[in-house]
Structure 1
Amino acid sequence: MTFLVYATAALAEIAGCFAFWAWLRLDKSPWWLVPGIASLALFAWLLTLVETSVAGRAYAGYGAIYICASLLWLWAVEGARPDRWDLIGAAVCLAGAAIIILGPRPPVAV
């Protein structure tokens, strides 16, 4: 469930940020901001669905999924194929996220 939430959140964040990119850098209509803002709000809400006792750990784990989704966006939407350095960097990020999420630790007192 966590991976699905992270993947959906990544798509929502990238789409929302791309709407701003399109408006500011690609001279698209300001109306692109309407779905962009909605998409960013969806992204923020989705991250609250991750089961964790602390928000920072949810965000850290999400970061690797975001990076991988960004490279997929690069390829699928922008037509630029990720190179080996992109893929190596994504693998390192996934390994780091796994350590953060799966590492044994005592419960956090809030």
Structure 2
Amino acid sequence: MTVARSLLLFVFAALAEIGGAWLVWQGVREGRGPLWIAGGVIALGAYGFAAAFQPDPDFGRILAAYGGVFIAGSLIWGMVMDGFRPDRWDVAGALICLAGVAVIMYAPRG
């Protein structure tokens, strides 16, 4: 259950951070206005809470692992929201990052 909870928190964090950054981008770069920017700021704030609920007590470990989740999540977000088409190297890099997340967060420690 702890791993499942951790994975769900990583998904939530990715959606909040990537979505928040995308909303700010849309508000500023695409001229959608201050409501989009405000929504992005709120989402980014929600992302800030996600790490606090991870079951692992080590902040550095959580944020390091989240970097890999962010990379893979950003590629997926780009595909869904912006029509980005990753090439095989993007996919390979994302899979390597996710393998790193698994090692950092879920390797047996004793």
TM-score range relative to shorter protein: 0.7 to 0.9
Report the counterpart of residue 27 of structure 1 in structure 2: 31
Report the counterpart of residue 96 of structure 2 in structure 1: 92
Query: Is 1:76 the equivalent of 2:80?
Result: yes
Cα distance, 1:61 vs structure 2 = 1.5
Listed one character per residue, the Cα deviations across residues 29-48 of structure 1 (whole Å, up to 9, x for unaligned) are: 12212111110111111121
* Consecutive unaligned residues in structure 1, runs of 5 or more: none
Q: Output the amino acid matched with 1:100.
A: I
TM-score, structure 1 normalization: 0.87
Cα distance, 1:76 vs structure 2 = 0.5
Structure 1 or 2: larger helix share?
Answer: 2
Give the aligned CA root-mean-square deviation in angstroms: 1.4
Aligned length: 106
Q: Output the amino acid matched with 2:66.
A: Y
TM-score, structure 2 normalization: 0.87
Report the counterpart of residue 7 of structure 1 in structure 2: 11
Cα distance, 1:23 vs structure 2 = 2.0
* Counterpart-to-counterpart distance in 1, 2:66 and 2:10: 6
Cα distance, 1:105 vs structure 2 = 4.4
For the Cα contact (< 8 Å) 2:26–2:36, is it kept in 1?
yes
For the Cα contact (< 8 Å) 2:28–2:37, is it kept in 1?
no
Report the counterpart of residue 65 of structure 1 in structure 2: 69
Which region of structure 1 is more displaced relative to structure 2, 25-34 or 41-50?
25-34
* Counterpart-to-counterpart distance in 1, 2:8 and 2:100: 19
Q: Output the amino acid matched with 2:58.
A: V
Report the counterpart of residue 47 of structure 2 in structure 1: 43
